[in-house]
Amino acid sequence: MSVEPSASISLGRARAAEAALAVGSFAIGTGEFAAMGFLPSVADGFGVTVPQAGHIISAYALGVVVGAPVFAVLGAKLARRNFLLLLLAMFGLGNIASGFAMSFPMLVGLRFVSGLPHGAFFGVASLVAAGMAGPGGRAKAVGRVMLGLTIATLLGTPLATWAGQLLGWRAAFALVGAIGLLGVVLSAVLVPHDAPHPDAGPLRELGALRNPQVWLTLAVGAVGFGGMFAVFTYITPTLVQVSGIPLAWVPAVLACFGAGMILGNVVGPRFADRGLLPTIFGAIVWNAAVLALFSLAVHWAWTAVPFVLLIGTGFAAVPALQMRLMDVGREAQTLAAALNHSALNIANAVGAWLGGAVISAGYGWASTGWVGALLALAGLAVFAVSVALDRKQRSARAADAACSA
């Protein structure tokens, strides 16, 4: 199923729909990262340690990984607009319910539930935006939807963190939920109606898993993007202990990371619409270089700050990988597109674990940059396999066509 608004929907209507979807992506981005800022408050509220409170973050990430494929398959027969409304409503209500959790295990469970719609929402929203844009601007349309996610790192997360610290963590979750429900209302009004494809169904979506290109593209994201998380997970102690930046200034430096993500999200799709595979290649090489140089630049505050921004620009690869999954997914685009965020959450876990491992081994805080660079190069190697397979398949099809002629 696809909407073809490029032929039947005005540019203004398409932009309004993208803005509504971006509000949803802003809510989800805020909800994903804000809890990190008020974990001590959650710990105090339930009488647990801060590391134990961190289980709510792990539960959310697990929900993303599990929910993306499950929801994409279960919602295969739904119209995409209606599916989006259900996913975003579940996210909003899950966050509001989190604010009313009566016990810590209940909060952990509700964070898992809140994470379930995350990946499927971004996958389906990307498909809707690309359909409205037409062939020449698909990646830029996806980027405009994801702009909400990147703006969340700059504005939404600090806002929710502030609310959590000033008003309590329950109010912060309620705020995130309210933004999610606002996205539901805006999407209901502005996203065009559509009809499900007559052949859509769970088995058709599961067909994506038979395509090696889907798995290879997911591996590029899960491995190659882990480098950003290897650095960012430990960015605060790195800036304070290696760069010598006062702790009070760290939030301002982290805002540079958010600004870099916005920049990457704006620039990356423009290149992706001109050449998708070269953009993915260039973005991964850029990430590897920036992460390696970060290990050197972080020793001085005046070079560490701009490199934090440059690390954020690595987000340019995300819309391009989203487009690649939509292309290789073929008739099973919903599942393929939804799995992108499962892969990114795996990258988060892998990057954070490897970064922590080298720090624990005594290589120092700055060593996370080298870990990130190696992960980016590993992702580049997987991408090279994907491209080689693509060329081999095209050559085989061309040979078959020549024999048939």
pLDDT at 180 over 60: yes
Q: Report the SS3 class of residue 143.
A: helix
* Domains in the chain with CATH codes: 1-200 (1.20.1250.20), 203-405 (1.20.1250.20)
Residue length of the chain:
405
Helix (H) or strand (E) holding 355: helix 333-358
What value does the mean pLDDT take over residues 190-194?
A: 87
Calculate the average pLDDT of the chain: 86
Q: Which of 316, 305, 186, 181 is nearest to 249 (CA)?
A: 305
Q: For the segment 313-372, what is each residue's pLDDT rounded down to a tens digit?
A: 999 999 999 889 888 877 777 787 888 888 888 888 888 888 888 888 889 889 999 999
- From the centroid of its chain, how far is CA 158? 18
- Token readout for 223 is 């491995």
Higher pLDDT, 394 or 16: 16
pLDDT at 62 over 70: yes
pLDDT value, residue 61: 84
Cα(17)–Cα(125) distance, rounded to whole angstroms? 10
CA distances from 334 to 27, 76, 181, 207 (A): 21, 7, 23, 11
Cα(187)–Cα(230) distance, rounded to whole angstroms? 35
Neighbouring CB atoms inside 10 A of 33's CB total 20
pTM (two decimals): 0.82
What value does the mean pLDDT take over residues 78-106?
A: 94
Q: For the segment 107-122, what is each residue's pLDDT rounded down to a tens digit?
A: 999 999 999 999 899 9
What value does the mean pLDDT take over residues 160-166?
A: 77
Higher pLDDT, 11 or 151: 151
Q: Report the SS3 class of residue 102.
A: coil
Cα(47)–Cα(105) distance, rounded to whole angstroms? 12
